[in-house]
Amino acid sequence: MLNAKSKELTGAAEPGYYSDGGGLFLQVSNQGTKSWVFRFKSPVTLKAREMGLGSINTVSLAMARTKALDARIQVSNGLDPLIEKQNAEHQRLLVTARKAATFAICARECIQTHEASWKNAKHRAQWESTLETYAFPIIGNKPVDEIDEQMVLRVLAPIWHTKAETASRLRGRIEKVLDYATAKKHRSGENPARWKGNLKELLGKQSRDTNNQPALPYSRVAEFLHDLRTHEGITAKAIEFVILTACRSGEVRLATWDEFNLAEKKWTIPANRMKAGKEHTVPLSEQAIQLLQTMPRMEGSEFVFFAPRGGALSDMALTAMVRRMHATQVEAGQTGYVDPAQKDSENNPRTITVHGFRSSFRDWAGDTTSYPREVIEKSLAHGIKDKTEEAYARGELLRKRIKLMQAW
């Protein structure tokens, strides 16, 4: 090592280290290049270390002395300047990565990560549809570490009471995406989409009326069925079967022939097609069996209610028929098929939905029969407490449901 006065540093030509004092050195390489280095004993590792401060072509002696002073202060504070430099670079890269990690990107990664554990492919489509429709336009391009409660509220508030079920599921999906982003180190802190102690207080409880699908009063269901039976085609049959069984549209539309035992008057829906993820047995009334016996079969199709070009009927096919039937009634100067208990934004009764017939069934069973609530709820494939269900013999519960469905 060679020592030199500060003014002689820049003129040094032979390879070696030239000290300016305080750990600052000019390093001349064998190739003649010159750069500033700071040499110190790490207070962390207790080993001699060397940190580059830049080339003499870009860093002046004054600048090098300032950098060396900053490094000495770190050492005196028990810090290793090299480790601190690495940490700062890591933090810079982390911030850059967070800026690039938008909600839309994290959402798609989250879906791809978890879709293998979902019950069916439709679940992915539902996730993508709700997020793309409601969340992406507002927070899709936002870095996930910038998303706060107010942004989540901007997504949810407009539909919280008008599309309650969709909004509730959307909130859960946003929360899941942000949990994923936190696990990937793209954000930190509390999840702004969490419910308890957060959005529950800001959004409030969804009212029961708006959370239900618009339903036809049960006193008009027979009228609707009479009208429906004037229409030909698979779609009309599917809607009638929805009404006769009080099942969900998707359960009926995707029904396959191998699920039915007409001799025992049973329809067994597999767990992977049920909302609750549990196998469900539906007792079939005489009218439901007669409908099945009149159904044509499409060669190569397993579906009972097949689409004209094969495959299963779409949900929109059923919805469109109900809307057309309603419109025809209105054009004829009649009330139409509406739920008088639910109003739209203009205070007009809302047009009924296919799903609403489940509410019609529940209201009818509760108002006009003496069947216990548990029998009614089980008929709708709603979960009931195990102890309550155990109070019935399994066969007794099914027998009561058979009688209930036939009465309906």
d(C-alpha 123, C-alpha 254), whole Å: 15
Same-domain status, 143 and 259: no
Tell me the CATH number at 298.
Answer: 1.10.443.10
Contacts of 78 (CB under 8 A, 6+ apart): 43, 44
Has residue 204 been placed in a domain? yes
- Read off the pLDDT of residues 46-58 as tens digits, 9 standing for 90 and up: 889 999 999 998 9
**Domain edge (last residue) among 184, 211, 238:** 211
Same-domain status, 377 and 249: yes
Q: What is the pLDDT of residue 395?
A: 63
Dihedral, 368, 372, 378, 379 alpha carbons, nearest 10: -30
Same-domain status, 167 and 311: no
d(C-alpha 398, C-alpha 179), whole Å: 42
What's the domain range around 53? 2-79
Tokens of 354: 């296919």
Tell me the CATH number at 14.
Answer: 3.30.160.390
- Read off the pLDDT of residues 217-230 as tens digits, 9 standing for 90 and up: 999 999 999 999 99
Same-domain status, 232 and 279: yes
Q: How many domains does the chain have?
A: 3
Cβ–Cβ under 8 Å, residues 73 and 67? no
- Read off the pLDDT of residues 76-104 as tens digits, 9 standing for 90 and up: 999 888 888 888 777 776 666 556 789 99
Has residue 304 been placed in a domain? yes
**Domain edge (last residue) among 156, 178, 211:** 211
Has residue 174 been placed in a domain? yes
Has residue 285 been placed in a domain? yes
Q: Residue 118: pLDDT above 90?
A: no
Q: Residue 4: pLDDT above 50?
A: no
Q: What is the pLDDT of residue 10?
A: 66
Lowest-confidence region among 56-70, 107-121, 146-160, 360-374 = 107-121
Determine the residue type at 42. S
Has residue 129 been placed in a domain? yes
Has residue 222 been placed in a domain? yes
Q: Kindly indicate the confidence band of residue 2, based on its pLDDT and cuts at 50, 70 and 90.
A: very low
**Domain edge (last residue) among 162, 184, 211:** 211
Has residue 93 been placed in a domain? no
Q: Residue 263: pLDDT above 90?
A: yes
* Mean predicted confidence (pLDDT) in 180-188: 90
Surface-to-core class of residue 405, CB atoms within 10 Å of its CB (0-12 exposed, 13-18 middle, 19+ buried): buried
Q: Kindly indicate the confidence band of residue 305, based on its pLDDT and cuts at 50, 70 and 90.
A: very high
Tell me the CATH number at 117.
Answer: 1.10.150.130
Same-domain status, 258 and 285: yes
Same-domain status, 402 and 297: yes
Centre a 10 Å sphere on the Cβ of residue 193 and count the other Cβ atoms it contains. Answer: 25
Same-domain status, 277 and 334: yes
Q: How many residues does the chain have?
A: 408
pTM of the predicted protein model: 0.51
